[in-house]
Amino acid sequence: MFTRSRRALIGCIVLLSAGVLAAQTTQITPPKVEPPPSRELVAARVNGQAIAELAVYRGLLRVPVQRREEVRKDVLNYLIDNMIVDQYLLQLKIPVDIKEVEEHILKVKKEAADEKKDFKKLLEELVINEDELRTELTGALRWDKFVLRQGTDKVLQDFFKNNLEMFNGSQMHARHILMPVTDGKKEETAVKLAVIKKKIEDEVAQALAKLPASADAITREKERAKALEIAFAEAAIKNSTCPSNKDGGDLGLFPRAGAMVEPFAQAAFALKPFQMSDPVATEFGYHLILAVEYKAGKDVKFEDKQVKAFVQEVYGERLRAAVLAAYKSKAKIEFVERKK
């Protein structure tokens, strides 16, 4: 359910131009369980353009060996999304100066040297060559230019004002029940969650019916909240496919942006404490959400450098989602069957 980073090489090079290379490289070298695949081996094609199996392998480098097969689908889907966005930006003919790319290459080399790392050896560990690195950097720079072009100060200021909870540190504590969609049966999945919601509501009503008629409103609300959380947690343990099921679907506190996918976060923050949502659709399936606690944020100003940078980052995420919503359904995506 966590959001994915906006660009760059999955799992390998994170924010190359941000000076964090040293903090990451010590964690990247994977156990040499199997050699990398040939650069000619194709994992998928998007509108006829190939995604190399090597790119998927690269994206799994920091994933524990026992989970790589499980995570592979997510990595490949992310690479497909990246290619769709790249193809869209190429149509817009957004220029990227070769000098800019080379400046970033030199910066990475300097950061590696400062940390006593051999640049060529680092690339070997990341299973990438300089040409591939330049291609990735070119795509990342093109995306940054697109975001800057679309996200003018006026646009970002309006986005900030209309979505203050995303940037002021507001947090929501929630539980959820997740049901993935199988065989494309979205409506059936949503109905199953609606039935679970009704059952939870019935259990809460039964608990309230046991209270004496003289119980005041405060006592009844406390009992309702208690019964609701207990019934929801039990339903999550029985029905949810999320790993949080063992904790009764408890997700703890999370911010409005940067932790959960947008449809989930938007629905959760629309709830009042101890209120349940209707079934909420995300890329992971359908969710039933119970708000437990809301923590209001602090006063923040758009002019603050860190705040503005975060606004731009979140705006970029929304922009990327909009591009994918418009173009992914139109793209011709072909998966190439792997040989065992």
If asked whether residues 42 and 141 sit together in one domain, one would say yes
Residues 136 and 176 grouped into a single domain: no
Domain-located, residue 233: yes
Residue 4 belongs to some domain of the structure: no
Radius of gyration of the chain (CA): 23
Query: What are the pLDDT tens digits along the chain (340 aa)?
Result: 433 333 433 333 333 333 333 334 344 444 445 789 999 999 999 999 999 999 999 999 888 888 888 889 989 999 999 999 999 999 999 999 999 999 999 998 998 899 888 998 889 888 999 999 999 999 999 999 999 999 999 999 999 999 999 999 999 999 999 999 988 899 999 999 999 999 999 999 999 999 999 999 999 999 999 999 999 999 999 999 999 999 999 999 999 998 999 999 999 999 999 999 999 999 899 999 999 999 999 999 999 999 999 999 999 999 999 999 999 999 999 999 887 6
Residue 76 lies in a domain: yes
Structure token pair of residue 67: 């989970």
Mark whether 83 and 188 lie in a shared domain. no
Are 290 and 320 found together in one domain?
no
124 and 260 share one domain = no
Q: State whether 153 and 197 are in the same domain.
A: no
Domain for residue 199, yes or no? yes
Q: Do the beta carbons of residue 295 and residue 171 sit within 8 Å?
A: yes
At 18 the pLDDT is 32
- Residue 67: predicted pLDDT: 86
Range(s) of the domain holding residue 79:
16-160+307-335
**256 and 148 co-located in one domain:** no
Report which DSSP code applies to 261. -
CA 279 – CA 288 distance, rounded (Å): 5
Give the model's pLDDT for residue 33: 59
By residue count, the chain amounts to 340
CATH number of domain containing 117: 1.10.4030
Angstrom distance (rounded) from CA 141 to CA 161: 27
Q: Other CB atoms closer than 10 Å to residue 247's CB: what's the count?
A: 15
CATH code at position 185: 3.10.50.40
Residues 152 and 27 in one domain: yes
Of the candidates 137, 133, 135, 115, which has an alpha carbon nearest to the alpha carbon of residue 123?
133
DSSP assignment of 133-201 equals HHHHHHHHHHHHHHHHHH--HHHHHHHHHHTGGGTS--EEEEEEEEE---TT-HHHHHHHHHHHHHHHH
Shared domain check, 94 and 121 = yes
139 and 59 assigned to the same domain = yes
Q: Starting at the earlier edge strand, list the strands of the sheet with 333-335.
A: 49-52, 42-46, 333-335
117 and 23 inside one domain: yes
Burial of 331 (0-12, 13-18, 19+ CB in 10 A): middle
State both tokens at 192.
Answer: 């199953």
Alpha-carbon distance of 56 to 68, in angstroms, equals 10
Residue 252 structure tokens: 């703890």
Burial class for 131, CB neighbours closer than 10 Å (0-12, 13-18, 19+) = exposed
Structural domains in the chain (count): 2
Per the DSSP assignment, residues forming a β-bridge with 285 are: 282
The residue assigned the tokens 């940067």 is 258
CB environment 251-268: b (16+ within 10 A), e (fewer):
beebbbbebbbbebbbbb
φ, ψ (nearest 5 deg) of residue 286:
-115, 145
Q: Is residue 300 part of a domain?
A: no
Report pLDDT for 34: 75
A 10 A CB-CB count for 139 gives 20
Backbone angles phi, psi at 256, to 5 degrees: -65, -30
- 86 is a domain residue: yes
CA distance 141 to 143: 5
For residue 277 the two structure tokens come to: 């949502």
The residues with which 282 forms a beta bridge, in sequence order, are 285
Terminal CA-CA length for the chain = 30
Both 152 and 183 in a single domain?
Answer: no
Let me know if residue 10 belongs to a domain. no
Greatest Cα pair distance in the chain: 78
Closest C-alpha among 96, 280, 75, 86 to residue 174? 280
Question: Does 1 reside within a domain?
Answer: no
